[in-house]
Chains A and B, each alone.
Chain A
């Protein structure tokens, strides 16, 4: 087994709680003792609902937020010991993609400028090779360069903006992409396109990908391994097929059960099965069914 691109050990991030009039504050652990590894060419999905700490974890992995304790290592080197040069290299090798493409692009820069800034600054292109490289980049994300290179972000649709954000991330030939909800602000047909784009990019370039999502459909379609988070802790982790196909925890099961299916027949079948289960549970007081319909044994209440 080779060294993982990025590994995290015992990561804890707590935020000081604030009470209204500056009274005694209690700390809230947004990320609570998380371990994870991402290998080359692998897609790791982090799943959880709002408040589970998945976005805080993403920022820690990107080196944007310092954890309260624990260590993030890039190819075995702790980022705590990074020099300025190391950081520069790390920032190039690990690229973020965010949920809202409109706010991650500079509204005053044309597409061409956005991409050429990155390429020139990183010395990946010279003035002569710039234009063909930008054409290549845009075509790799499915956009026609002649049509798009002099547009501003507001002249692009949401899906096109996200493609530009992906092109910018890919421009520096990263080892790892950390994508925080990259699809959730997009229309469904566009989501499917961007999903296909991410799949083809990662398999063509042996990229590592950390995909943070609340959408199990997306996770199922793209990831190799999955981590399920709840209130800052890892509830369940393992190969995607195993975790989603045969979940061990009640929380994962409840997430799966809440997944909407785009099939009215299946939806009706499921409702009928649920009604029948609820009816027989009420009738027989069967302990197993009772426990399955009740909330999982987790800290805090699900609401």
Chain B
């Protein structure tokens, strides 16, 4: 931790507020959040539905849907630039070159159903000089997300891929601009358990090998335990607790965090499991 805190954060949010106007009422979806992501760190935001975690993620990446805002304030700095105040062109530039990329829960609704995978990856690789470079980089990206049958997959349409492959393709597209940070909103919720585990391990590998910083937005404490270094617990638009993952699970300071952990342990209790689960090898 000391090595990390000596560096300056990659992303730093201060007093971020997102208040929405819904049917004339003001809903404080995000209400004064401070958050830091250091280079190479994997940060988790956990909370239940309605806690404001996705709204926070979208506000920080300037991807808020077209809603009526009552207030959007605070600052989000990425490498020193204020994201919230950035002009659209500068924002595009940041996304395209070594900035941050986003991955969402349902890959099917973010892939174009009428285009083969190669065309869609090529869109994210327009900065490359020629088709051969694009082809090479595309195959390289697919291999990075654990898809080895690259030549075949590039010629397929999204509907011909399984859910796990689609999510891997989405992550490959997110990696195309060579980002310093990946923001993932419930990246494995739509996937089967065995595939979920594979994708989580793949994200962990990207985090370790490429030193890629990650901001993982999830409701699943199991995923947080598996992947994250630092955890922010969100409830009612506010951060109620933040700690490194071991401290948070071992000694939660906040009552809400403790109740979330108790619920997770109730569901994750290892009554019959345990030794067998530990000894078994997942399919990778």
Instruction: Name A residues whose Cβ lies closer than 8 Å to a Cβ of B.
Output: 49-50, 158, 187-193, 195-196, 214-218, 220-221, 240-241, 244-247, 253-267, 269-271, 273-274, 277, 292-293, 295-296, 302-303
Contacts and interface: CB of A to CB of B under 8 A. Distances in A.
B225 A254 contact: no
Given A258-B193, A258-B194, A259-B273, 11 more contacts: A49-B194, A220-B269, A221-B267, A221-B271, A254-B283, A257-B197, A259-B193, A259-B222, A260-B200, A260-B220, A270-B278
A156 B224 CA distance: 29
A260 B224 CA distance: 9
B271 A262 contact: no
B164 interface: yes
Interface residues of B, number: 52
B237 to A, nearest CB: 16
A49 B197 CA distance: 13
Interface in B134-188: 162-165
A50 B266 CA distance: 24
Interface in B180-220: 192-198, 200, 204, 219-220
27 contacts: A188-B220, A190-B48, A192-B262, A192-B263, A195-B267, A214-B192, A215-B193, A216-B273, A217-B268, A220-B270, A220-B271, A254-B194, A255-B193, A256-B273, A256-B280, A257-B280, A259-B222, A260-B222, A261-B270, A261-B277, A262-B222, A262-B249, A262-B264, A263-B268, A264-B226, A264-B246, A303-B165
B195 A303 contact: yes
A262 B221 contact: yes
A230 to B, nearest CB: 11
B109 interface: no
Interface of B: 48-49, 162-165, 192-198, 200, 204, 219-226, 245-246, 249, 259-284
A253 B277 CA distance: 7
A256 B277 contact: yes
Given A188-B267, A303-B165, A260 B225 contact: yes
Contacts of A270: 278
A258 B270 CA distance: 14
Q: 8 nearest interchain CB pairs?
A: A260-B222, A258-B197, A257-B282, A49-B192, A262-B264, A189-B263, A257-B280, A187-B48
Contacts of B269: 217, 220-221
A293 B197 contact: no
Contacts of A192: 262-263, 266-267
Of the candidates B223, B226, B272, B278, the one having the most CB atoms from chain A within 10 angstroms of its own CB is: B272
A267 B259 CA distance: 21
B194 A302 contact: yes
A193 B260 CA distance: 12
Contacts of A191: 263, 267
B50 to A, nearest CB: 8
A274 B262 CA distance: 27
Contacts of A214: 192-193
A267 B198 CA distance: 14
Nearest to A243: B272
A43 B94 CA distance: 54
Nearest to B164: A303
Contacts of A302: 194, 283
Contacts of A296: 283
